[in-house]
Structure 1
Amino acid sequence: MSLGTFPTKADANVALVSAAADAQRGAFVPPDRGRVELRTYANEWLEHHPTLSTGTRDLYRFVLDKHVLPHLGDAHLGDIEPATVEQWFATLGRTTTTLQRAKAYRLLRTILNHAVKNSRVIRNPCMIDGGGKESSPERPVATIPQVFALAAQFRERLTAIVPVTAFGALRVGEAAGLQRADIDPLGNRIHIRRKVKRAHDRRLLVEDPKSDSKRTVTLPPQVMGLLEAHLDAWTDTAPDAWVFTRPHGTPVDHMYIGRLWRKARSAVADDDPTLRAKLHFHDLRGTGATLAASQGASLKEVMARLGHSTTVAALRYQHATADRDATIAHLLGQAIDQAAGATVTDLGAASQRSGKR
């Protein structure tokens, strides 16, 4: 085994002594173990990772191909030094957003941690303090009248997705993944059992949500009324029929909803300039959490409603707080009546008039 070549005998002796010391404390990695390109190692890591969902795998593929491998892919693992990572990180700072740079850094750090565990390198060169920290600005929150004003601007077959997402505090993929069997009108409940997303290559992916995101959410009765009108007008009767669809029957996704949302926001902003602050569709989820908290929901109750908890704790807590969740929904319903009662009635009537029977 060779430690490599050195410019002087003194340099070679220093390397030999260092290698001997590393070997004695169990930290020595033969140099040839690091003679594999990051591109090869990262691709194998991604291909054979045992627990990644299809969506996460697709996201990592995108981040690798766009932000990591074009800069570092040809480098051997053993040649990637902290200075190499710092230079790459600085380059990303000039070419992409802070959020995307943080995601790329975390992914590179994870892959190189795997290389350390597999004795490919001695230590992880990703040593930038706060390099993986996302610094996102505080997102805006919609008012109750704004939620229903925005809903009124959506296509009639998708009007209900706005209040369902907001008052259920759903992710867009969770709302898109709802099927008829997930709706319990008698209990004003919806069951979050799957999510739908559009991959970077435009494939439509249907996945189970993370186990701690599977949950049951109680909707205010007014919102369930809108959802029932939507089911009667626009949803097939099969239990596995998608609740929110495009005109040809496939489920919606964040890209499709995003286009409708931007048009709706622009239309409403003419009368409500506060919406020009770039309220995103995903901000409806934060709106729902904020409104629930404003009705007295505890931190744990808000977390359970959002699906933010560990697997065991979420299941145990949901059983214990089902009655409390219904109370939160009832209080939200009272707030809707006070802020937008007539608008809700108009939306439900419009959906029934316009839909199929």
Structure 2
Amino acid sequence: MQLRPEQLARHLESPLAALYLINGDEPLLVQEAADGIRAAAIKQGYDERIRHDVDRSFNWSDVLADAQALSLFAQRRLMELRFNNKPDAAATQALCALAAQPPEDTVLLILLPKIDGKAQKAKWYSEVEGAGVGVSLYNIDANELPKWLTARAKGLGLSLPADALQLIVDRTEGNLLAAAQTLEKLKLLHPDTAPSVEDVAAVVSDSARYSVFDLADAVLNGDATRTARLVLGLQAEGVAESIVLWALQKDLRGLTLIAEQMHSSDQRQASSQLLTQQGFWSRRQGPAQNALRRLSLPRLQRMSSGIIDIDRAIKGQSPDRAWDGLLRLAMAMAGRPLFTG
């Protein structure tokens, strides 16, 4: 069964399905959808949570063993499969097996990167979605962002003038997490009054000397010296590692998808339309073209596969330091890797 994103909350008030298939590239939307399912699962007695982070070298026997073991116990559990890349042949085969025979007393939550309409017609996707509920979370473009912000502000009890909304749109450039945090700050600072455009400007101006947007631009421009300085500056300012990872991952994923399409169609240069589709607005298209000339497809794919290690470090699931991983990733994207090989 397929649900629209706005239908999910109402659906979760009923007994949960055996399987949820969520796909999308916007971290905030994916996070909030997953949080809603987790909260509903806890409310309905699924007290234990098992999480598997899936990459290209993932051993599917671990998941299948967990699935078999779960049926031996009465305790109800939520099993999450979080994909960093689109499923390969081994993954789709395992997902179809799980969909055909879901483990007992278990809700499967499968989180995927964006799967386009054509790919959703694939046999594996239809089989998995048919065993439960599928939700596609589409990115919110610049034209839709004011409407999204207005609805979110209303949910917080905020009323913002049009020029204030546009200021948030211009400053956050499509970063929904930053936009949502801006609204939350405004609610805390102005709980009983409607914020003015000056109030919004004070919040979005950001007193910190360093910005993740500056870092993303430095990386795209191949300015390794400024990239290193910005990463260290963001760390010193206490900026959340997850925000920095979001900024780097967003561009890395876009560049990788563009490079894959260029390779498959034997193109030497990406079109403006293709760049726009992957979130590179007009002023960033030149730097994006330079980055694509600087970084080969295999190199981009290797960097993408390392995202999951940084994510684990941020979540405390690895002994590695997240900031070290972020610095390595940013420098590699800027064209000056700290280590070769």
TM-score by length of 1: 0.25
Q: TM-score, normalised by structure 2?
A: 0.26
Compare CA radii of gyration and give the structure with the larger one.
Answer: 1
